[in-house]
A and B are shown apart, each in its own frame.
With several copies, the nearest count.
Chain A
């Protein structure tokens, strides 16, 4: 990939997608046995597993909140998920992602029902291809629903960005690495309606107008993903088997 290569030619991106087109997405709920809820998700070449444990008693006691559940979120990359082997364990990037991801679920999960307990969300990135944090949020949302954790709605997330001076939906790796801006956004969606932004980060260089365009695209993308999340949960309820 050269830095000055054209990313968009005749309205098509390098991987053949249109500017406002998502990568292929595959979502399956209930893929793990031990956890209370789980989800396998592919978004382009991202491969993500999410698991939820809880609500369960939180130890040690001094971590408990007497009034509500404590949400914990651990985003983790497998050592083999990236080009150059990543040393196991949390690095600064994953600590930050875990923090903002946890905060994205805080206003959505009905924590007051479970004082003194924890709801633990674990994300494992098995293969990374840009947008792992938003893919993780989408998977976590499904895993929470699969675990029966009461929520006011769904969290649905996508990254939008700027490449070749175009605002595009759902960056893949090369666009992320060599593009002009990356904006991961998570929306809170209730009954198919976007109610607000629950995660927002950005780095790059954009104008306010471009930001508006980006958020418009993000909303479109999130609604599409939301449909797939619902579908996966519906399949799970119908008791369909997990097919690899």
Chain B
């Protein structure tokens, strides 16, 4: 039975993490504005239309892209459809439960989706097959494998990496030759924990145990903000927000370079 002792250990650890922060140290030695090591492995699921695994420290996420023809939405008859879904399967964390997506996985999927959608990364008009009848549907499925914190950035990174790696399976459905899915913008999300006066970029699960308060800011290749999400029960000051914006845009630039180099 590991549970009782686990709880005590968890409390001690939480305390330890907190006291370190008060001394301006992160428990894993990082600077407050430092990401963990990032590894991007594209094409990890060769049989999907596109895929990528991202490791953010010990956090691991796989995103697979499937594409199939289907009906457009009635109000956008000439545009393809993106459907983003996240499964926080219980394999990835002791706190995840089997069952339909809860509010956390829904929020995660929707924030990832907005980054991709609003940056115009995918030109949805290019995904129209027959206007009003048949368009390409892109399924972006986020599959968490190991949640050591900041699943959101790992997921949005894996999503855009997977899209950059996607082939439209035209042949399979009789629409001519397969083509590379064109990606015209690279949105990158940066999530920071907000704890008292501190801002902790790319929080680890140890840090997330201290507080659920965080802000995600996604910016695009031109440093535009394309999506923001305050999450958690706290008051955010205007100054802190602008600080987060500057930090997020700058961090995103670096990550975007990594993506381009993959």
Contact = CB atoms under 8 A, between A and B. Distances in A.
B137 to A, nearest CB: 9
Interface stretch (A8-16, A27-35, A220-228): A27-35
Contact of B225 (A36, A129, A211): A211
Nearest to B137: A85
Contacts, number: 199
B82 interface: no
A53 interface: yes
A208 B246 contact: yes
A83 B47 contact: yes
Interface stretch (A18-26, A194-202, A233-241): A194-202
B145 A124 contact: yes
A20 to B, nearest CB: 18
B131 interface: no
A2 interface: no
Nearest to A55: B1
Interface in B194-236: 205, 215, 220, 223-236
Interface stretch (B16-24, B84-92, B174-182, B252-260): B84-92
B238 A197 contact: yes
Contact of A85 (B2, B68, B107): B68
A33 B234 CA distance: 30
B147 interface: yes
A74 B98 contact: yes
A74 B97 CA distance: 11
A200 B230 contact: yes
B158 to A, nearest CB: 12
A80 B107 contact: no
A202 B225 contact: yes
